Structure 1
Amino acid sequence: MIYTLTLNPSVDYIVEAGEIVLGTLNRTSHETKLPGGKGINVSRVLRSLGIESKATGFLGGFTGKYVEEFLNREGIYTGFVKVEGDTRINIKLKAGKETEINARGPEISSLAIGLLKEKIQQLGKDDYLILAGSIPSSMPQTIYQDIVRICKKNGAEVVIDAEGDLLKTVLEYKPFLIKPNHHELGQFFDREISGAEDAIVYGKKLVEAGAKNVIVSLAEKGAVYISETEAFYATVPQGEVKSSVGAGDSMVAGFMAQFLKSSDCKEAFRFSVASGSATAFSIGLCTPGKIETLLPEVEIHEYQ
């Protein structure tokens, strides 16, 4: 079973407007409410691809109830720890340029953190835990390391999509997959990553440090995949980028879905790139049909 962890979920309030003029009354042309958070996005894409997962993390208040009910309607299992305070509302404003206003979220008590760790203790062999996103300021910055350590002890695999500083604390536990973008990879090594060759060089260093599989997204320049025995570069399909929200999460979900079906990392990587592009070319997350349409456009080149 795949489990996804979102420490600071949200209700994403997506607002579209022709033009926003500060200091005056503005009216929207369209609004959408969706559950937000990187791990939640992964669970939603997995479900659309026919892969079951269980979403966990922290939820509270009427907004938390909305998130849980939404996921349950989509057929996603949930096992969130309930907290005091409301799950945050994040505003995604689309009016010419894309603007985001993200709330802080509720305070997380030490009791709630303990309850989450108890849930993680139940994972074992044949389970995958996907940790995605940043750590809220109210939580210990060692929380990822603590959770990965529990998984390692019990035989569960971990997948991590987080910033460079967080990756440094977990590489020694040999995560199954990590997915930094080129900015995060550069942050990790204090270097500018200008293209695929740089990404492969430094991606190999992440493998040497413990990661079993590494995917580095390079935006319009493509993506690279590195393991102990293989290195691939993928082109990305051509299309109009409508929103970058959820594209990286879709790459993680696409890779895991295809890998669990085929155990073929090369094809899982191709599917990952198509999934990320399908989300980038959409308002909302990718669909199986959109992914299948883009798959033939993803060219894979092997690096020696």
Structure 2
Amino acid sequence: MIYTITFNPALDYVVKVENFNLGHVNRSVGEKVYPGGKGINVSIVLNNLDVENKALGYIAGFTGVEIERSVRALGCLTDFIHLENGMSRINVKIKTDKESEINGGGPDITETDLKGLYNKLDALCEDDILVLAGSIPKSLPEDIYESIMKRLDGRGIRFIVDTTGKLLLNVLKYKPFLIKPNHHELGEVFNVEIKTQEEIILYSKKLIEMGAENVIISMAGDGAILVESNGGVTISGVPKGIVKNSVGAGDSMVAGFIAGYLNNKDIREGFKMGVATGSASAFSDGLATKEKVYSLLKEIK
């Protein structure tokens, strides 16, 4: 089974405003509400690709109820922990001539709540995949990813980690199956400015030396690079299309990689599927659909 964790899910309230005027009353010309959070995005896209998975995490209040309802309505399995206090956050995304976002804080997660998650994770077994993605709420310890991987180490569970900075560096010793920083995040990890593909490959290999089994570096419109622990390097362009949405494209790449890899346990096939799936979300108003992914897959070179 594949599991995703979203520590701080949200309702994303996307509102379109023409000629937004700061300090005045503005009228929207379009509104949509989506369940949000990196792990949830991975779960939704996996489900769209007919890959069964289960979304874990924390929800609270009436917003949490709606997050769970909407994720399940999209066909996903969930096993969220319901917090007694607070409410799951609402993120407001204003689409106008210059896009802006206001992200909520979310509820506090107690030590008891954290133990509840550990109890669920203790049921994972060999060949399960656990996706750890996104930032950490302030109420949780900064080493939460590291603590989870340490707890589950040695069970044959494949970890996929999509985060940045120290959160990423601190988990490498547990040999995550895949990490996926973008080229800017890769530079931040090593405190350098990366300008070329050769530099991306060089620093990706350093992450391999530090413990990662496979590294995918996304480069937005310039494609992506896969570096494997066996020394293999694969460079991919992206299909042609009009970018409509950058939200969730990286999460979609993770979901696509998992779906492609599970077909025949081929890392490069997973990479190819990941690039197609990330592009499918970027070229859509919402997250990637199976039809859109397979229409783009044949264009990946």
Identity of aligned pairs, percent?
Answer: 49
1:240 paired residue number: 242
Matches within 5 A, 1:176-195: 176-195=177-196
1:169 paired residue number: 170
1:28 positional shift? 0.8
Asked if structure 2 preserves the Cα contact closer than 8 Å seen for 1:243 and 1:281, the reply is: yes
1:275 paired residue number: 277
1:297 positional shift? 2.3
Asked if structure 2 preserves the Cα contact closer than 8 Å seen for 1:13 and 1:34, the reply is: yes
2:114 paired residue number: 113
Moved more, 1-10 or 149-158: 149-158
1:98 paired residue number: 99
Asked if structure 1 preserves the Cα contact closer than 8 Å seen for 2:249 and 2:278, the reply is: yes
Q: Residues of 2 paired with 1:241 and 1:67: CA distance? A: 26
Matches within 5 A, 1:11-50: 11-50=11-50
Determine helix, strand or coil for the equivalent of 2:207.
helix
2:224 paired residue number: 223
Q: Which amino acid is 1:189 matched to? A: F
Asked if structure 2 preserves the Cα contact closer than 8 Å seen for 1:278 and 1:286, the reply is: yes
Q: Residues of 2 paired with 1:251 and 1:198: CA distance? A: 22
Asked if structure 2 preserves the Cα contact closer than 8 Å seen for 1:120 and 1:150, the reply is: no
Q: Residues of 2 paired with 1:228 and 1:155: CA distance? A: 17
Q: Which amino acid is 1:282 matched to? A: S
Q: Residues of 1 paired with 2:195 and 2:284: CA distance? A: 27
1:97 positional shift? 2.2
Matches within 5 A, 1:56-71: 56-71=56-71
1:250 paired residue number: 252
Asked if structure 2 preserves the Cα contact closer than 8 Å seen for 1:16 and 1:28, the reply is: yes
Q: Which amino acid is 2:213 matched to? A: K
Render the CA deviation track for 1:14-54: whole Å, top value 9, x for unaligned. 11121210111111111111100000000000000000110
1:154 paired residue number: 155
1:249 positional shift? 0.1
Q: Residues of 2 paired with 1:200 and 1:298: CA distance? A: 20
Render the CA deviation track for 1:97-149: whole Å, top value 9, x for unaligned. 22111111111111101111111111110111000000111211011111111
1:261 to 255, 260, 263: 263
Asked if structure 2 preserves the Cα contact closer than 8 Å seen for 1:121 and 1:154, the reply is: no
Q: Which amino acid is 2:65 matched to? A: K
Render the CA deviation track for 1:79-102: whole Å, top value 9, x for unaligned. 111112100000111112221111
Matches within 5 A, 1:111-150: 111-150=112-151
Asked if structure 1 preserves the Cα contact closer than 8 Å seen for 2:260 and 2:272, the reply is: no
> Which structure 1 residue ranges, 5 or more long, are not aligned?
300-304
Q: Residues of 2 paired with 1:212 and 1:158: CA distance? A: 10
Q: Residues of 1 paired with 2:165 and 2:289: CA distance? A: 29
Asked if structure 1 preserves the Cα contact closer than 8 Å seen for 2:135 and 2:163, the reply is: yes
Q: Residues of 2 paired with 1:93 and 1:243: CA distance? A: 13
Moved more, 235-244 or 254-263: 235-244
- Over aligned residue pairs, what C-alpha RMSD do you find? 1.0
Matches within 5 A, 1:194-209: 194-209=195-210
Determine helix, strand or coil for the equivalent of 1:11.
strand
Q: Does 1:89 align with 2:54?
A: no
Render the CA deviation track for 1:180-218: whole Å, top value 9, x for unaligned. 011111111111121322111111111111111110001
Q: Does 1:52 align with 2:77?
A: no
2:289 paired residue number: 287
Normalised TM-score (structure 2): 0.97
Q: Which amino acid is 2:237 matched to? A: T
2:75 paired residue number: 75
Q: Residues of 2 paired with 1:121 and 1:188: CA distance? A: 31
Q: Residues of 1 paired with 2:272 and 2:225: CA distance? A: 10
Determine helix, strand or coil for the equivalent of 2:51.
coil
1:6 paired residue number: 6
Determine helix, strand or coil for the equivalent of 1:215.
strand
Moved more, 2-11 or 79-88: 79-88
Asked if structure 2 preserves the Cα contact closer than 8 Å seen for 1:151 and 1:158, the reply is: no
> Which structure 2 residue ranges, 5 or more long, are not aligned?
none
Determine helix, strand or coil for the equivalent of 2:298.
helix
